[in-house]
Amino acid sequence: MARPRRTRIAQTLLCGLLALPAAARPDDGARSAIDEVIVTAQRRAQPTLDIAGNIARLDQSVLDAAEHHHIHELMTRVAGAWVVRGSGQEHLMAIRSPVLSGAGSCGGFLYLEDGIPVRPAGFCNVNQMIELGTELANSIEVVRGPGNALYGSNALHGVVNVLMPQPGGSRPYLSLEAGANDYWRASALLPLDDEQDWLLGLVHADDGGFREDSAYQQSKLHSKHRGSVFGGEFVAGFTATDLDQDTAGFIFGKDAYRDPELSRLNLDPDAFRDVESQRLYAIWTRNFSRFELDVRPFLRHSDMRFLHHFQPGAPEEENGQTSAGVLLAAHFDGTRVRTVVGLDAEWADVYVREFQDGPATGSPRVVATRPAGKHYDYEVRSASIAPYVQA
């Protein structure tokens, strides 16, 4: 006998209800204890549940467990992101995108320190995460996909925000590591006064490299002060980084990496990369009756020299920048809509120089297009003001 139609419908509805996700709603006290907080979306703390799911956060426990020696070791923990590890501290980034290199990476990714860009708009290097103090960070947030209005046009594929430790809110430590190939690293995070209003973080790594002429020495420093100014909370930070690297070039041949002798050779013993950067910034926030004001002035400088061992003729490039600016934002919390009204202002003086010692080798086209002598020698001064509204 055929089963009644009403019974089949009821069973279908019951199966559908059982398949729906169910979750117990915690009380307010429990929820406040377990909510994860994200700051990159609107430059201030927000519960993760209030934000679209394109932001990943690597918190202090993840950083402590990783104890990374290269940014690749951290970014493998972010779904949708990949960092190709190069020689020494070099890398190529991908965030929901192809792996971009050279000028193609400019504007593709935006790198921030405590919410402030580490380089001027339109001026980047594919390896510029070298200039970030990820080894001393308190947490790292990654926006996968285009950035919002708060971050302008330099975030086509994603944003990486390195959040540095705060005075009084970070656990002091002292660490010493040693490993193969004459590797050693020392790091420390220390309060500088009894009130814990001052903080100093230091890390130095020295690696002999597993390939010939592939050693590097890298140092990073971060200092921060916290206080109260004009009725608001004031935090001032300073970061300095330095890298002196002998870069190893490519090896060639099928399964060359399997050859224990060939894999340790460096076919470009003259290759190098020297990088230094300094950043001074402040963050002042104050709550008014109807809005919260956030002001972030900054001053930045960086220099980079490296050999293009991967190009015909192996020219040497030097680039650098000195820049300053301020980020202003007013946050309005309505009953239904949260609105941010802001203004970003920036001034920059940047330069790029490239020189090739001798003629390139290869096809006639390569020799003709890569001549010896000066390739680039220019300087650009820029000023930008960008107002925005985000709701």
Which run of H or of E encompasses 32? helix 28-34
Sequence-separated (6 or more) residues with CB below 8 Å from residue 219? 202, 203, 204, 205, 241, 242
User: Is the residue at 25 inside a domain?
Assistant: no
Predicted local confidence at residue 26, as pLDDT? 45
Residue numbers of the domain that contains 236: 36-390
Predicted local confidence at residue 1, as pLDDT? 44
User: Is the residue at 4 inside a domain?
Assistant: no
pLDDT tens digits, one per residue of 139-198: 999 999 887 777 766 788 899 999 999 988 777 889 999 999 999 999 999 987 667 689
pLDDT tens digits, one per residue of 39-50: 555 555 565 545
User: Is the residue at 29 inside a domain?
Assistant: no
- Specify the pTM: 0.84
> Is 83 a residue whose pLDDT tops 80?
yes
303 phi, psi to nearest 5 deg: -140, 140
Predicted local confidence at residue 194, as pLDDT? 65
> Domains in the chain: how many in total?
1
Predicted local confidence at residue 108, as pLDDT? 85
Cross-strand pairs, 101: none
User: Is the residue at 7 inside a domain?
Assistant: no
Residue 354: both structure tokens together: 């490239």
pLDDT tens digits, one per residue of 247-292: 999 888 889 889 989 999 999 999 999 999 999 999 999 999 889 9
Residue 250: both structure tokens together: 């490519």
User: Is the residue at 266 inside a domain?
Assistant: yes
User: Is the residue at 270 inside a domain?
Assistant: yes
User: Is the residue at 13 inside a domain?
Assistant: no
Angstrom distance (rounded) from CA 291 to CA 106: 35
Q: How far from each other are the two terminal CA atoms of the chain, in whole angstroms?
A: 61
Neighbours of 357 (CB within 10 A): 11
User: Is the residue at 26 inside a domain?
Assistant: no
Predicted local confidence at residue 47, as pLDDT? 59
pLDDT tens digits, one per residue of 86-138: 999 999 999 999 888 877 777 788 999 999 999 998 888 889 899 999 999 99
Predicted local confidence at residue 37, as pLDDT? 60
Q: What CATH number did the domain enclosing 315 receive? A: 2.170.130.10
